[in-house]
Structure 1
């Protein structure tokens, strides 16, 4: 690898600009190439993120040429999650490290194929669940490990927003892997697993799963409420939806206190530790740039070290979350992405 890490980006949409901004503010890395189906849109994106005095960002519609370029060290996939599988698999087979937006793919079975390819090729693969890398989550992990709230007893999280119904949109179309779980519920489930692992040292096996919800006319999940039972009275409750407004908070409750991430918990910069009879402890940890920089830095460090996954967001966690999503959809009777697992 060169001393400057060279990123290629597939899918020059809104989320890709967040990635490009973070890359532009990190040391020893740059955006090398952007690939999109629309040549003009790719060229506009490349021009926007080219830096004066540096080699211009290259624009292409040819994925094969991108993957054959020896200068590219890693590929970030920013297309809608229903379109992740093919470019991710092609990149892994070409020996290119992959950082892929959440949800990695629509089903656990598809994710297993990508993980198998990464392991066979000995190439880095990570689902870009940026939440797990944020400074506030590091602080919460420390509080949990120190036993600040005592024995963990319950979790509650919400991630809902009202979206106009459009059967052809990525949110509601089965052909585009629509549904609340893959779009936003993935954050609820990742936060649940993050808390369990740091509070208990592991994620206990599910003892029970109760699911309620509402299907959109297209058959995908428009709203999901789930209660995950981990035994001994430990329960995680979550709601995600495309038809509802919610405070979108995370509450972690223990026998001796609670941790609250107020509002938009998946991009939190504030956490509160509450304990009976004591003043609340509040930490504010703003992002250096926009929050994506932490997962990008971690991915680059792992890739440079020759690792194929990150301990912060390992393959097993991606598979576990998608396994939960598969089962929740099954119980709800939701239409499966592409009509198959």
Structure 2
């Protein structure tokens, strides 16, 4: 007997959603069945690209999408400021949600959405795709086995050049722009993940320091943060839109160092260097484009009737958004809708 394919809807068919669309197109057992966007022509072009010749529903509002019985899950890829509105509607309608990072712009909204997920018993997951990359299975094994001993510190960087444009989502305060939310979440969440893998528990943050440079629109174009955890562990993070960076992750232990580079957030290679100088290098390619892991995780959780993933749990999301709030607070970044 044939199994009905899992029907995905996409809200916000922009650049990042193309990676999702490609993964859905190439993964078995799922289809793109609906697209919601303010620009119907853009939504149609997206559907034609990733589900050519199929009957994909095109919607300019959420009501039509949420009433589509073919939709089994919704991927939200709008600008950050609009995540909560779309996710709120989906959860209230009983539609499982995979939402691009950050889940929301602040802790208050994140708690609201998680509360709705629990109230309605509907799956909700922040799309932190890095955690599902094959190379991080290797890194996790190194950390769990104590291959570098006790973690002493972490260093991570995510920086690139974006020409200033007040309407660009990176700089537009109305769209919750700024380096903290757009790219800072990667080093902050990977810090959390590394310490969890090494210690078996969520890290306890004791203090946080942050400095940065604000753009003319009032959002952060660059920031540096130092997070101090229990057991004297420090994570140093640097992110920005005003110049290139090394874009690596380094985890320093008392008996070795793990390096994930280049572009640690979408890496396929990692090295382990012991204190005696021995270097082990591992490479793990994507099955498709890197998004497949989080998509399969979401579908598996939904099939089991779960409302959250244990890889990116609700508590994980809340902890990281709390850190981002703290960094923005120290930088003086407040959005007009807050």
Same fold (TM over 0.5): yes
Matches within 5 A, 1:273-312: 273-312=272-311
Quick check: 1:4 aligned with 2:39? no
Q: Deviations over 1:113-157 (max 9, x none)?
A: 110110000000001010011111111111100110011100000
2:231 match: secondary structure? coil
Q: Does the aligned pair in 2 maintain the 1:106–1:337 contact within 8 Å?
A: no
Give the structure 2 partner of residue 240 of structure 1. Answer: 239
Contact kept? 2:31, 2:51, Cα under 8 Å: no
1:28 has 2:29 as partner? yes
**Unmatched 5+ stretches in structure 2:** none
Look up the match of 1:148.
147
Hey, what does 1:63 align to over in structure 2?
62
- 1:203 Cα deviation (Å)? 2.6
**SS of residue paired to 1:84:** helix
1:133-144 aligned at under 5 Å gives the runs: 133-144=132-143
Greater CA drift, 78-87 or 276-285: 276-285
Cα root mean square deviation, aligned: 1.4
Distance 2:136 2:212 in 1: 29
- Tell me if the contact between 2:171 and 2:215 (Cα under 8 Å) persists in the aligned partners: yes
Per-residue Cα deviation, 1:27-53 (whole angstroms, up to 9, x for no partner): 11111111111111111111112245x
In structure 2, the residue matched to 1:95 is: 94
Task: Point out the more displaced range, 197-206 or 70-79.
Answer: 197-206
Preserved CA contact (<8 Å) 2:81 2:104: yes
Residue equivalent to 2:316: 317
**In 2, Cα distance between the equivalents of 1:324 and 1:43?**
38
Distance 1:159 1:179 in 2: 13
Measured in 2, the distance between the counterparts of 1:64 and 1:76 equals 15
Measure, in 1, the Cα distance between the counterparts of 2:305 and 2:231. Answer: 41
Contact 1:262 1:268 in 2 (8 A): yes
State the distance in 1 between where 2:214 and 2:50 align: 40
Taking the aligned partners of 1:339 and 1:117, their CA distance within structure 2 comes to 21
In structure 1, the partner of 2:124 is 125
2:325 counterpart residue number = 326
Aligned length: 337
> Deviation per CA, 1:180-211, whole angstroms, max 9, x where unpaired?
00000000101100000001111332121111
**Superposed displacement of residue 315, structure 1:** 0.8
Distance 2:186 2:207 in 1: 20
Say if 1:46 and 1:56, in contact at 8 Å, map to a contact too.
no
Cα contact 2:192–2:203 (8 A) shared by 1: no
Indicate conservation of the 8 Å contact 2:57/2:65, yes or no: no
Q: TM-score, normalised by structure 2?
A: 0.97
CA shift, 1:337, in A, is 2.2
Provide the residue aligned with 1:262 in structure 2. Answer: 261
State the alpha-carbon separation in 2 of the partners of residues 57 and 245 from structure 1: 39
Q: Distance in 2 between matches of 1:314 and 1:207?
A: 21
* TM-score of the aligned structures, taking structure 1 as reference length: 0.96
1:237 aligned counterpart, secondary structure: strand
Which portions of structure 1, spanning 4 or more consecutive aligned residues, are displaced by more than 3 angstroms?
none
Aligned residue for 2:104?
105
Q: Distance in 2 between matches of 1:61 and 1:218?
A: 29
Distance 1:49 1:234 in 2: 45
Distance in 2 of aligned mates of 1:203 and 1:247: 27
Question: Tell me, which stretches of 5 or more residues in structure 1 are unaligned?
Answer: none
Asked if 2 retains the 8 angstrom alpha-carbon contact of 1:10 and 1:78, the reply is yes
Q: Mean Cα displacement is larger for which, 252-261 or 166-175?
A: 166-175
- The 2-side partners of 1:51 and 1:301 are apart by 26
Q: Does 2:206 correspond to 1:207?
A: yes
Q: Is the 8 A contact 1:249 1:265 kept in 2?
A: yes
**Equivalent-residue separation in structure 2 for 1:96 and 1:19 (angstroms):** 18
**Equivalent-residue separation in structure 1 for 2:16 and 2:188 (angstroms):** 21
